[in-house]
A and B are shown apart, each in its own frame.
Chain A
Amino acid sequence: MSDIDVSKERVNTSRAARSQQEMPRLSAEEKDDLVHRYHPDYKKEAYATLRFGPNKGEQTVHELARLLEGESPVPADFPALKPAHQVDILIIGGGGAGATAALTAKAAGAKILMATKLRLGDSNTVMAEGGMQVAVSPEDSPIRHFVDSLKGGHMANDRVLLKQLVEEGPSVAQWLIDLGVMFDREDDGNLSLRAGGGSSLPRLLRCKDYTGLELMRVLKDCVLNEEVEVLEFSPVIELLTDGKGSCTGAILKDLDNDRRIVVQAKTVILATGGIGRLHIQGFPTSNHFGATGDGLSITYRAGASLTLQDTFQYHPTGAVFPEAMAGLLVTEAIRSAGAHLLNAKGERFVYELETRDAVASAVIRECLEGRGIQTPAGRYGVWIDMPLVDQINGEGTLEKRFPNMIRQFSRYDIDIRKEPVLVYPTLHYQNGGIQIDAEGESTLKNLFVAGEASGGIHGRNRLMGNSLLDIIVYGKRAGAAASKRAAASDFGPLSLDHLSRFRKERSEAGVNSDVVSPMLFPDYVKKQ
């Protein structure tokens, strides 16, 4: 028997004894200490100081700093800016936030154009598994939701943004239901609620472990029903400004025809999502192929400020074996349902429903201190004992509630109903992002931001289920605010003045790297 098999056997044989074991919760001090010692956000050598731009002097990870300080793909002698499209609102990004913004803006009567890098719906939204937090139960309240999220975010959340998030949760849930989203229900028709890490009460609405897919399928269908004009395979490569602090449009790149498309817009909504594919600090990621933080670099160049750009979420349980699944999520809902985390000795080492930053830190600690399990490909991980879920909740629970998880592992002949699997933190979410006000507007006038690209709502650590809520609440807010603004505005002049300023600052700061941003796609092509 190999070391892995011996360790796995320990997990299997200790299951019955463990099922009743109580794991102590971490005190605030213990959690703080754990996170400071092991969380990747506190690894000093991973960070660089931004040398120029709106957040000059502040820190972020090297991978992002390189892009923020990168050169634009738009040359200084770009031909005259003649718009191919003139719209009230240009929506950049075709995920959950972009689609919600589009539906809201369309309902408000705005003329909109949506541009997205891959296809409409290709996004992190579609991959979300666990659910959406909404304070629904009689014991619960928006106040409790607020306090839980604030604690989870290390008190760094923007209070105004967070209040709006939790308070508008119930009404956006109703909006989604009216669009035909099938959240799981109890027999009496009430929404079925589940617990998430860091939440004091069960508050997760979900659709089995396909919550994001369910939301995105419906939102996409609605966008198509509304006949929104969508340009697919057309990422934004540069924003346009009037040279006086307002956004007036954008330059898109038509990937299939290698053309540039100039769009003049009264307002722009940026919903470009996250950064997982930057593989910060070498981590694998749970994110989709296009999650390269494009919105951050173009916005930074145009002069808008970022906030909390130094903090990222590493989801505690990304698969590490089989190698083909590395980085893919094992949903937190599995831990909510009772699955244990175990080290090589088959021992639990953390209460599994601490906030994600704490659980991730504990997993990293186990592996660093020699209590991890090494995979054949050389990765390290700890066990997540999913068969326990069936033992606690009854045979068939996994099958009923986690069909996606079962399907994904079964493709590699692993039956999660029978054996534990190996996991390690995976780069999951950008906690910070572009700074926005209560209506979703950035510090660059007429540029609105919604979803993961924005920052502030989640502080330094997002709670499970608050992201699906974020994209809907702030997608709607941005859509409404941008429509209102557009109705009261004229088209502004199109210029690349901000780019001249950026290039001047860049050279004065002595930056001369040949990095071009936005990155658009990670480069996985093997060089022959």
Chain B
Amino acid sequence: MWHLGRPMLHGVGCLGGVCGACPISIRLPNQMAPKTALACQTLVAEGAEMAFLPGDASKKEIAPLPAETPNQNTLFQYYPETRRCVACGACTSICPQGIDVMASVREAMNGKLAETADRFVDCVMCGLCAAVCDVKVRPHRVGLYTRRLIGAFQENEATQLKKRIEEIGSGHYKEQWAALMEEAVH
């Protein structure tokens, strides 16, 4: 767009393929149908037709983390429509990151939250999956919330981290610091 002399503001972000600001629809001359992509990660070609797609307009639920270990009902409480998925596959085909979105929605429906979380590691939150869903599922939001549930409720604790926090809190390093800061100043 810049090369064509057009300034851009909306639709530009990291320019590195991770912020999700620039989803486009693009059809190359030899293709039947347009495909979605991230503009900053797409090479233009002579004769290509392209349009910038609007940003994510799906509703964000106020979804805090629960106090107790979560299950799929924790998710349905905020995103009940997830259960309505009719497995049409539109979300998967539109994802510019190539995530199998539909599979992960099905996994979330069946309580396989860890699997859903894993699939969404590449998600840039562009929201195209929600925009094309006929039954108004918001897969990217489901994915992120699921990741947060899994992240905050890990089965095995990070014991080394806990121990280090205790050490610091109990003044374990106090003398070493005193000596070091003294030395560092002189």
A and B from one complex: yes
Tell me, yes or no, whether B47 is within 8 Å of chain A by CB.
Answer: no
CA distance A289 to B39 in the complex (A): 14
A82 at the interface (CB under 8 A from B): no
How many residues of chain A get a CB closer than 8 Å to chain B's CBs?
Answer: 73
Residues of B within 8 A of A521 (CB): 9
How many contacts between A and B, using CB within 8 angstroms?
180
What CA separation (Å) do A527 and B184 show in the bound complex?
A: 53
What's the tally of chain B residues with a CB closer than 8 Å to chain A? 62
Residues of A within 8 A of B98 (CB): 407
Closest chain B residue to A205, Cβ basis: B161
> Is A182 close to B, CB under 8 A?
yes
Q: Bound complex: CA of A217 vs CA of B122, how far in Å?
A: 11
> Are B15 and A221 in contact, with the CB atoms below 8 A?
no
B12 interface hit (Cβ, 8 Å): yes
A123 CA to B7 CA in the complex, in Å?
20
A147–B173 CA distance with the chains assembled, in angstroms: 14
Q: Inside 8 A of B9's CB, which chain A residues have their CB? A: 233, 255, 521
Q: Does B31 contact A (CB under 8 A)?
A: no
B121 at the interface (CB under 8 A from A): yes
CB <8 Å contact, B16 and A329: yes
- Are A525 and B5 in contact, with the CB atoms below 8 A? yes
**A170 CB–B CB distance under 8 Å:** yes
- B65 interface residue per 8 A CB criterion: yes
A residues less than 8 Å from B42 (CB atoms):
411
Question: Is B29 among interface residues, defined by CB-CB distance under 8 A?
Answer: no
A233 CB, nearest partner CB in chain B, Å: 7
Q: How far is the CA of A101 from the CA of B46 in the complex (A)?
A: 46
Contact with A along B105-127 (1 / 0, CB 8 A): 00000000000010001111100
- The verdict on A527 contacting B13 (CB below 8 Å), with A135-B164, A159-B181, A189-B159 known, is no
Are A170 and B164 in contact (CB-based, < 8 A)? Answer: yes
Find chain A residues with CB under 8 A from B13 CB: 118-119, 122, 126, 288-289
A224 CB–B CB distance under 8 Å? yes
Q: Which residues of B contact A404 (CB under 8 A)?
A: 17-18, 122
Pick from B123, B157, B165: contact of A189, CB under 8 Å: B157
User: Bound complex: CA of A408 vs CA of B162, how far in Å?
Assistant: 36
Does chain B have a CB within 8 A of A174? yes
Given A122-B19, A127-B18, A180-B149, also A185-B184 (CB < 8 A): no
Q: Which residue of A lies closest to B145 (CB)?
A: A221
Q: For the complex formed, measure the closest distance between the CB of A352 and the CB atoms of chain B, giving whole angstroms.
A: 22
Contact A126/B155 with A119-B13, A324-B43 known, Cβ cut-off 8 Å? no
- Interface residues of B, Cβ cutoff 8 Å to A: 2-7, 9-10, 12-19, 21, 41-43, 55, 60, 62-65, 97-98, 117, 121-125, 144-145, 147-152, 154-165, 168, 173, 176-177, 180-181, 184-185
A-B contact pairs, 14 of them (CB 8 A): A118-B13, A121-B19, A126-B18, A163-B181, A167-B168, A171-B165, A174-B161, A177-B154, A180-B150, A182-B121, A191-B161, A255-B9, A524-B2, A526-B4
Which A positions have Cβ atoms within 8 angstroms of B? 118-119, 121-124, 126-127, 134-138, 141-143, 146-147, 150, 159, 163, 167, 170-171, 173-174, 177-183, 185, 187-191, 207-208, 210, 212-214, 217-218, 220-221, 224-225, 227, 233, 255, 286, 288-289, 322, 324, 328-329, 403-404, 407-408, 411-412, 521, 524-528
Q: Which 3 A-B pairs have the closest CB atoms?
A: A189-B156, A180-B148, A180-B151
